[in-house]
Chains A and B, each alone.
Chain A
Amino acid sequence: MPDPILEIRELHASAAGKEILRGMNLTIRAGEVHAIMGPNASGKSTLAYVLAGREGYEATAGTIRYEGKNLLIMPPEARAREGLFLAFQYPIEIPGMTTMQFLKAALNTIRKHRGLEELDAIDFLALVKERAQLLDVDADFLNRPVNAGFSGGEKKRNEILQMAFLDPKLAILDETDSGLDIDALKIVAGGVNALRGQDRAMLLITHYQRLLNFVVPDYVHVLLNGRIVQSGGKELALTVEERGYGWLEGPDARTSEEKAAP
């Protein structure tokens, strides 16, 4: 069995001073695709932001090891350079910088960190052509400022395009399926599937099972009130789809303290 890429142990984390994650455990190894499902406010996005190192999301107890190193002391850009990628639920607009410029700067920073040569304009353009095809993206899209004026679908495609460029070891996709129509969902899922591989691990965070019809995970976990209350194979997602989250909220299902209270 390969060494874990990500090991989360008894993680407690808070956002804006409020405890959201309450003793979470999760291990992800290279080549695995994990899905975390959960209702609103179960702590899904908090988990994504704690992993990426966003200000305002603070781990208060527990550990996160990334390739054996203490992730929590690394600044966000160091995590990214080490191969941790977050596809944002709400991609940010950056006026004044084209997607092309942004991709080139990010790619070369990461390549430099990995001891690779920086790509010149010509090699970069060749790579752009190749990867853009994967997501059915045209050049006009790349010459516009990052996400500025993009539709919801375009923004999500742009996230996966960036993932395809930056070649991460661990890709976290935060509700990448939300707000997509079926055609857009298929394109995005196709891109994600193309990026599955032996050396890469993925963590899909989602509210609905829909995405998992197209990107079939190896493991499914249900997050409720800041803890994983159930883990299983891909069929767990179907059970959740059918029965909702209610049946997992019983006192036996390791749920939170307040649910247990009368």
Chain B
Amino acid sequence: MAEGNGIRDLARYEYKYGFTTEIEAEAAPPGLNEDIIRLISAKKNEPSFMLEWRLKAYRHWLTMKEPQWANVHYLPIDYQAIVYYSAPKTERRPKSLAEVDPLLLATYGKLGIPLSEQEVLAGVAVDAVFDSVSVATTYKEHLAKLGIIFCAFSEAVQNHPELVQKYLGTVVPDSDNFFAALNSAVFSDGSFCYIPKGVRCPMELSTYFRINAPFIGQFERTLIIAEEGSYVSYLEGCTAPMRAEHQLHAAVVELIALDRAQIKYATVQNWYPGDSEGQGGIYNFVTKRGICAGVDSRISWTQVEVGSAITWKYPSVVLRGDNSIGEFYSVALTAHRQQADTGTKMIHLGRNTKSTIVSKGISAGYAQNTYRGLVKILKKATGCRNYTQCHSLLLGDRCGAHTFPSIEVQNASSRVEHEASTTKIGEDQIFYCRQRGLSAEDAVSLIVNGFCHEVFRELPMEFAVEAQKLLNVRLEGTVG
């Protein structure tokens, strides 16, 4: 072949969020025991119900085994080597953005998330979580005028304990699974969001998670409650420095939609994926679940998963209210040595409930990408519908795509459709595009963006553009 960029030669890419912030941190010693949990709870000045809940989860966790069924492979995690609490050292919690450490503001600025009052993102309220704590929340007062509570989880525990106590663990119980139990025991912060009855949240709410300290595990918890007839659109983003060791991120997200409420939850996950040989990177073991508790309610998950060494997550919807709707739109891209086992569960309990699943898996390099899904329609849930579309794209011939769909329908009046395909983009396709004048990179980017179009259109506009760029960056040097 003539000189040029053969699709195997492009093996470089940069993770541009890989920097670290030199900030003095207050950290617990590594390891996990009841004292550490008491320490976290005391640091947060929590009411006793929280400590009891944590300890119960911890005692349960001790009896549980790490799940082995996922199609991912890694060396055993030493849970006693992890630091469970690390926070930037400050005199006291900042009252306003003006009091936030400039170094932290600068960090988020560098990540493209300006927090300082002059340049906050227009139309997006941000809660910034740095290691184990929330460091800033923008537009808080503005939202409060509408009765919307958007704050750090730890703040909600102080200011709205009744809401926390009422809803915490109702969707993902503390004993749900190994990682959720661990999270319940040690979670240190996260975002809390409450939309009162009939209120349509006028702006995107967003949490930006940043892991900074070494050896720390990030265990955050997000709880969103949408009261009757309310609406909220929520977006989370994640990055971490490049470190040679693996770091654990085990989050829990719970969504509750009451009668006629709608929650849209979008994730752009770009945790450090490790280098091209699989050294370092985040283990992203996350439990996300929403309940359509009320009639005519609606929850949709949209995820763009491009980071992490290993992703293990299944954002799910329990459709309890009659006529409720659950949706899952996913793009999971694995490149180099990344592994992802992701998908969803749609549990139909209410009558005439509907769910839609659109999953797009892209594998490149030596990566492995698994879709795992469950559609379950119970006997009394008559007249339900599910539509599932599960497509895999292989770039090159050394990566893998796997699908494990599971469908259980217990009545005859429900209808389920499943559509699946696997396609491969190889040298032939790339050459064809190049013969028409496109560079190899442009060809891959066009193919991948076309492939993901149905999911991207579910994202807020500016994030869809970001997501597209992110995929292109991750795919540089992986094709072939």
Contacts and interface: CB of A to CB of B under 8 A. Distances in A.
Interface in A84-122: 85-86, 88, 91-98, 101-102, 105-106, 109-110, 113
A75 B437 CA distance: 10
A58 interface: yes
A56 B436 contact: no
Contact of A109 (B4, B428, B438, B448): B438
A109 B5 CA distance: 17
B423 A55 contact: no
Contact of B2 (A75, A86, A98, A105): A75
A42 interface: no
Interface string A51-79: 01111111000000000000011111111
Given A54-B1, A55-B1, A80 B434 contact: yes
Nearest to A106: B436
A222 interface: no
Contact of A58 (B1, B6, B425, B442): B1
A75 B5 contact: yes
A55 B247 CA distance: 41
Contacts of B5: 75
B431 A54 contact: yes
B437 A73 contact: no
B143 to A, nearest CB: 38
A55 B3 CA distance: 10
A105 B443 CA distance: 9
A77 B429 CA distance: 13
A57 B435 CA distance: 14
A81 interface: yes
Categorize the interface residue count of chain B. 20 to 34
B112 interface: no
A206 interface: no
Q: Which one of A54, A72, A81, A86 has the greatest number of beta carbons of chain B within 10 Å?
A: A54
A105 B436 CA distance: 9
Contact of A166 (B427, B433, B437, B442): B437
Interface in B1-45: 1-6
B439 interface: yes
B357 interface: no
Interface in B437-452: 437-440, 442, 446-448, 450-451
A77 B434 contact: yes
Q: Which one of B425, B432, B451 has the greatest number of beta carbons of chain A within 10 Å?
A: B432
A98 B450 contact: yes
A14 interface: no
A45 interface: no
A73 B5 CA distance: 13
Contacts of A106: 433, 436-438
B147 to A, nearest CB: 43
A78 B5 CA distance: 11
Contact of B432 (A74, A88, A98, A113): A88
Contacts of B439: 77
Given A77-B438, A109-B442, A53 B451 contact: no
Contacts of B6: 55
Contacts of B393: 95-96
A162 interface: yes
A79 B2 CA distance: 10
Given A98-B450, A101-B446, A56 B429 contact: no
Interface residues of A, number: 38
Contacts of A72: 2
B248 to A, nearest CB: 34
Contacts of A97: 446-447, 450-451
Contacts of B423: 95-96
B446 A73 contact: no
B440 to A, nearest CB: 8
A50 to B, nearest CB: 10
B428 A75 contact: no
A95 B451 contact: yes
A71 B396 CA distance: 28
Contacts of B4: 53, 75-78
A79 B431 CA distance: 12
Nearest to B445: A105
Nearest to B393: A96
Nearest to B431: A54
Q: Which one of B6, B427, B434 has the greatest number of beta carbons of chain A within 10 Å?
A: B434
Contacts of B451: 95-97
Interface in B36-69: none
Contact of A113 (B421, B437, B442): B437
Nearest to A78: B4
Given A73-B2, A97-B446, A101-B446, A92 B436 contact: no
B429 A86 contact: no
Interface string A25-66: 000000000000000000000000000111111100000000
Given A96-B450, A105-B442, A80 B2 contact: no
Interface of B: 1-6, 393, 421, 423, 425, 427-429, 431-440, 442, 446-448, 450-451
Given A52-B435, A81-B437, A106-B433, 13 more contacts: A55-B1, A76-B1, A76-B434, A80-B435, A86-B435, A91-B432, A92-B428, A93-B429, A94-B432, A95-B425, A101-B446, A105-B442, A110-B437
10 contacts: A58-B1, A76-B2, A80-B435, A94-B429, A95-B425, A102-B436, A106-B433, A109-B437, A109-B442, A162-B436
The 5 lowest CB-CB distance pairs between A and B, nearest first, are A75-B4, A96-B451, A55-B1, A106-B436, A92-B432
